[in-house]
């Protein structure tokens, strides 16, 4: 009986491990790729200029995402969400202190395809948004694998299946990975802080918290005192006033007694 239980437990652990591996393959784990060196590759931009990833990151840190121009799924919403959040944070700044690099992993895509894709997002005149393709198409799969990105052709849809990923690169290393089609202001601000090499004093937590000590505004990046801090301070303030009142009353009583004794 004991052996049967051990076998069941072992099979359960194996199934759990396989499930975790499956989840990790669909949604890459940031911890697995963080601070890894990024493979340098040659890039042909939408303006038909040839450069390399290292040349770009030597100028400024990079926000990188991989898409394909014929995508009917996550690609356009991902870039729209990224653009919206960057516009919110950067405001009226015409120049960024980082590059946004949009690379196609589809060997069929050409610089012209990426040029049209860039223009569709009204980014034609933005030099900080770089759209391009891999100059050496045989390096795409290896590069994607090293940063935790995967893609798979699906015959029934005529599309690639792939995750939405935003990778923060500073000095040739992965410093942050965001997964999903929605790039929130909180997450993007954290990523920008990371690629700039700045310290992040606060990380976002779940929204439904009744009493927070500090409230973080993702749009302004400012921190304000929350109700939790006020609740913690109130007992100390009350204690101070009660103590002050007690000593004040005691002093008044002592003065009264001294005055009364002097009269007698």
- Whether residue 23 is contained in a domain is answered as no
CB 69 within 8 A of CB 109: yes
Cα–Cα distance measured from residue 28 to residue 102, given in angstroms and rounded to the nearest whole number: 19
Residue 134 has pLDDT above 50, yes or no: yes
Quote the tokens at residue 117. Answer: 């894709």
Q: How confident is the model at residue 227, as a pLDDT?
A: 66
Task: Please check whether residue 98 lies inside any domain of the structure.
Answer: yes
- Three-class SS of residue 85? helix
Contact present, 18 and 164 (Cβ < 8 Å): no
- The mean per-residue pLDDT over the stretch 225-253 comes to 74
pTM (two decimals): 0.70
Domain that holds residue 43: 28-195
d(CA 34, CA 221): 24
Both structure tokens of 13: 């652990």
By residue count, the chain amounts to 264
CATH number at residue 186: 3.40.30.10
Q: For the segment 181-235, what is each residue's pLDDT rounded down to a tens digit? A: 899 999 999 999 999 988 655 555 545 555 556 555 555 555 566 566 667 777 8
Higher pLDDT: 22 or 130? It is 130
What DSSP letter does each residue of 193-262 carry, written as one string? HHHTT---------S--SS-SEEEETTTTEEEE-HHHHHHHHHHHHHHHHHHHHHHHHHHHHHHHHHHHH
Residue 246 pLDDT level (bands cut at 50, 70, 90): confident
pLDDT at site 17: 42
What's the confidence (pLDDT) of residue 250?
75
Element (H, E) at 88: helix 75-90
Identify whether 56 is part of a domain. yes
Whether residue 229 is contained in a domain is answered as: no
> How many structural domains is the chain composed of?
1
Q: Where are the beta strands (DSSP E) in the chain?
A: 42-45, 50-52, 62-67, 99-104, 129-134, 152-154, 159-161, 165-170, 173-179, 214-217, 222-225
User: Mean pLDDT for the chain?
Assistant: 82
Within a domain: 220: no
Q: Is residue 201 part of a domain?
A: no
φ, ψ at 45 (rounded to 5°) = -80, 170
């Amino acid at each position: 009986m004991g052996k049967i239980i051990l076998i069941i437990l072992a099979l359960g652990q194996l199934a759990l491990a396989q499930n975790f591996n499956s989840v990790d393959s669909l949604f890459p784990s940031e911890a697995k790729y963080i601070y890894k060196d990024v493979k340098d590759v040659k890039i042909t931009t939408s303006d038909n200029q040839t450069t390399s990833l290292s040349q770009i990151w030597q100028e400024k840190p990079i926000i990188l995402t991989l898409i394909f121009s014929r995508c009917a799924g996550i690609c356009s919403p991902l870039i729209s969400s990224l653009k919206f959040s960057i516009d919110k944070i950067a405001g009226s700044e015409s120049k960024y202190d980082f590059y946004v690099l949009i690379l196609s992993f589809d060997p069929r895509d050409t610089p012209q395809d990426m040029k049209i894709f860039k223009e569709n997002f009204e980014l034609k005149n933005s030099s900080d948004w770089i759209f391009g393709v891999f100059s050496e198409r045989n390096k795409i799969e290896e590069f994607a694998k090293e940063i935790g990105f995967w893609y798979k052709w699906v015959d029934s849809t005529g599309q690639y299946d792939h995750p939405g990923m935003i990778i923060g690169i500073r000095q040739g290393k992965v410093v942050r990975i965001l997964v999903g089609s929605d790039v929130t202001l909180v997450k993007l601000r954290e990523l920008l802080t990371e690629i700039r090499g700045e310290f992040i004093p606060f990380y976002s937590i779940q929204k439904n918290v009744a009493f927070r000590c500090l409230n973080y505004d993702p749009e302004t990046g400012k921190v304000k005192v929350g109700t939790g801090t006020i609740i913690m301070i109130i007992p100390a303030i009350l204690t101070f006033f009660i103590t002050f009142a007690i000593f004040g009353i005691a002093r008044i009583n002592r003065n009264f007694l001294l005055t009364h004794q002097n009269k007698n």
